[in-house]
Amino acid sequence: MEVKVLGPGCAKCKSTYKAVEKVISDNNLDVKLTKVEDIMEMMNYNIMTTPAVVVDEVVKIKGHVPSESEIKEALGI
């Protein structure tokens, strides 16, 4: 599974990345986690607000810092 956190590096984006990283670590998941800060690459996902969480190229969460349970749901656990 591949997970991307999209955002320009603001506080909400950093919090989202840390939250996703924690869920992956706590659940011992085999996930490739990347942070996307390039505006042109983010535009490929057709999002208007950040942060956004993309799971296997599908936008699952956007516009807010997700809760741990929301991240688990997006990851299918």
Chain centroid, CA 41 distance in Å: 14
This prediction has a pTM of 0.94
Average pLDDT over every residue of 54-61:
97
pLDDT of 39 reads 92
pLDDT of 74 reads 97
Domain 2-75 listed as CATH 3.40.30.10:
yes
Residue 20 — pLDDT band, cuts 50, 70, 90? very high
CA R_g for the chain: 11
Q: How far apart are CA 72 and CA 77, in angstroms?
A: 5
Q: Which residues have C-beta within 8 Å of that of residue 39, sequence separation ≥ 6?
A: 8
